[in-house]
Amino acid sequence: MRDIEIVKTIKASLEKELHIDPVKHPIHLKIENNAIVMEGVVDRIAHKKMALLVAMSIPGTAGVIDRLRVKPATEMGDKEIKNHIYDAFLEEPTLRDITIEVDVNNGMVDLEGTVPSLSHKRLAGVLAWWVPGSADVINSLEVNPPEEDSDEEITEAVVLALEKDILVNHSNIKVTTKNWVVTLDGAVHSEPAKNAAEDDAWYVWGVNEVKSRLKVIK
């Protein structure tokens, strides 16, 4: 497919599969070094991640460069975001004594440093995402000593995120992972709780896709 046809196909797929309003939330696409560059602001991390998956699934796409941002729940300055993240780390006993460098640029958070396990890396990333002003989180934390990752590790990290999220009743949610794809089964009491649970799974570093079978029971 020619570049212009690939761009048109991706835009049509985004509107059809994700119901992303091209006027309210325009996603700008361009070709750069044979890769698709995606720029714009979306409402939720789920939309950001699924938009990237849609683009990667289009035949002829050589690669995707992610410059999508999530609309912050609360507008914050970079210093305020950084302070909130550091506070969250201090309040988390497993992270309190670990040195993690936080850099924030226009709402985009970068975490750097060394942590002792994959679970520490993933929890730090989730806590950074939970700060209402964060528009994106790049988790550059290194694990030392290195650990072999697994679906079980992913599942444990998602369960932990759900347990810590005050918006979610985790006891009614079952989490399974296969080939880095997380599936959520169960019931929640509201649409916001459903969205929060789905987003929590997407926040976990290493998750390639989230399939939600959650039902809202009021």
Query: Based on the structure, what is the number of domains in the chain?
Result: 3
Same domain? 88 vs 115: yes
Q: Please identify, among 117, 143, 169, the residue that sits at the C-terminal boundary of a domain.
A: 143
pLDDT at 16 over 90: no
Q: Which one is predicted more confidently, 95 or 10? A: 95
Section 74-96 average pLDDT: 97
- pLDDT at position 80: 98
Same domain? 62 vs 94: no
Q: Please identify, among 122, 143, 164, the residue that sits at the C-terminal boundary of a domain.
A: 143
What's the per-residue H, E or C state across the chain? CCHHHHHHHHHHHHHHHCCCCCCCCCEEEEEECCEEEEEEEECCHHHHHHHHHHHHHCCCCCCEEEEEEECCCCCCCHHHHHHHHHHHHHHCCCCCCCCEEEEEECCEEEEEEEECCHHHHHHHHHHHHHCCCCCEEEECCEECCCCCCCHHHHHHHHHHHHHHCCCCCHHHEEEEEECCEEEEEEEECCHHHHHHHHHHHHHCCCCCEEEEEEEECC
CA 82 to chain centre: 18
Q: Name the band, by pLDDT with cuts 50, 70 and 90, for residue 1.
A: low
Q: Domain residues for 11?
A: 3-70
- pLDDT at position 45: 95
CATH of the domain at 162: 3.30.1340.30
Burial of 24 per CB tally in 10 Å (0-12, 13-18, 19+): exposed
Same domain? 88 vs 35: no
Q: Please identify, among 37, 70, 103, the residue that sits at the C-terminal boundary of a domain.
A: 70
- pLDDT at position 175: 98
Same domain? 82 vs 138: yes
Same domain? 7 vs 66: yes
pLDDT at 158 over 90: yes
Residues 124 and 115: beta-carbon distance below 8 Å: yes
Same domain? 65 vs 14: yes
Q: What is the mean pLDDT of the chain?
A: 93
